[in-house]
Chains A and B, each alone.
Chain A
Amino acid sequence: MSRVEGEKVTLEISKELYERAKKWVESTSDFSSVEELIEFLLGEVLSEESGEQVYSPEEEEEIKERLRSLGYL
């Protein structure tokens, strides 16, 4: 997860959801604050949205060809 330092904005979310998130954050060691949790979740959703695909369909086909030829697929 890349955390962009520096500029921050303030968001509003429902108090109830915030309280639940806070409780959850306190019960695990994965995140140190609700802010960190929200940043992480948003980052995940947005990167899934954009696909984060680093290869084109043609490249993917070439990769699969090599994997087949080596017996991995």
Chain B
Amino acid sequence: MVSRPHGGRLVNRVASDSRREKILAEAAELPQIPISVEKAIEAENIARGVYSPLEGFMLSEDFESCLTRMRLASDVPWTLPVVLDVEEGSLVDISEGDEVLLTLDGSPTALMEVEEIYRYDKRRTAVSVFGTDSPEHPGVRRTLKMGDLLLGGRITLVGSVPNPYERYTLWPIETRVLFKEKGWKTVVGFQTRNAPHRGHEELQKTALAFVDGVFINPVIGRKKPGDFRDDVILEAYRALIRHYYPRDTAVLAILRYEMRYAGPREAVHHAIMRKNFGCTHFIVGRDHAGVGNFYPPYAAQEIFREFPDLGVTPLFFREFFYCRRCGGLANEKTCPHPESDRVRFSGTKIRELIERGEVPPPEVMRPEVAEVILSFEDPFVR
């Protein structure tokens, strides 16, 4: 029995074929609201149950409750706002109670029942979610640039968002069937935005030592220059799984999702999404979903204390390193040796080596993984 969906029920807001045809036939008469690809992906995540129990973009009651007490109005834990913002002037002829069509590049994505149009305080939202209103924080900057009004209401998905990684995309209903077919009763979720080094592998395998399977779920979305390209991350993981994981212990599928860099709050959100995919456990390492020095390194672990009713078990790990004296991977909790014996996994250092076409040492990265990465002409986002 994999994990129950968050809030008890897996949401499905994808239009049936007949409903879809009907909506599209009426599309010309519906007011349209153009949305960004990021918002279209949010709509898809809502409709396909990744954000269960949300059935649409948040109403003010849930939004307020999320900001002030990290729960929906129904008391279900929920830490990040999922909202649709619009510019005030763009809402000509749209009022509460209307149905509108959300469109991406002119194509219908979803029908939305606009239940509520409301104002909100951007600075206060930023401070609640990110713990800061510093413009140095990318999430704060994005929040301050949002439209002045929020639209809340249920959606029905009628289109799909172009996806270059269709064959690596699984939805919660599919992973639930998959985990069941594999006979996994316990599944640990792993969030990543990176090509795997030994530290990542150790996190997963330490967890795997006492659960049935690991769900490796890289987030595909907007990247920063210097990040590994999405296709590189996927191929690197495929190599790692092929060479270093026992058969039928790992599933690799992507999640299209825009990182907020909200640290602790986002760590809980990441856990909730993986719970909806069927995970019973979720790995939280050092500085999960953090950015710069905005969050203490283990704040994203501490926050879970506030959610005894989360319904997915967080697994907390100290940062792994390679210890020459221990002769293997270790962390503060398992190794007594001084820093001089330890090799830290620095993303920057790994990148520098790869930039120069050099293979990182095997205690830092598996040679098969390094080989795959180096086989790309340019593995980085520019």
Identify the A interface with B (CB < 8 A). 1-3, 5, 29-32, 36, 40, 43-44, 47-48, 52, 54-55, 60, 63-64, 66-67, 70, 72-73
Contact = CB atoms under 8 A, between A and B. Distances in A.
- B-side interface mostly: loop
B15 to A, nearest CB: 15
Interface stretch (B2-10, B106-114, B187-195, B196-204): B2-10
A1 B167 contact: no
A43 B5 CA distance: 13
A2 B76 contact: yes
Contact of A72 (B4, B76, B251, B309): B251
A54 to B, nearest CB: 5
Interface stretch (B54-62, B169-177, B322-330, B370-378): B169-177
27 contacts: A1-B4, A1-B8, A1-B309, A2-B53, A2-B75, A3-B75, A29-B308, A30-B308, A32-B308, A36-B309, A40-B309, A44-B4, A47-B8, A52-B4, A52-B8, A52-B9, A54-B10, A55-B173, A60-B177, A63-B173, A63-B177, A64-B177, A67-B178, A70-B167, A72-B170, A72-B251, A73-B178
A5 B75 contact: yes
Nearest 3 CB-CB pairings of A with B:
A2-B8, A54-B10, A63-B177
Nearest to B304: A29
B133 to A, nearest CB: 32
B303 interface: no
Given A2-B53, A60-B177, 18 more contacts: A2-B8, A2-B74, A2-B76, A5-B75, A31-B308, A36-B308, A43-B8, A44-B4, A52-B4, A54-B9, A54-B12, A55-B173, A55-B177, A63-B174, A63-B177, A67-B170, A67-B177, A72-B253
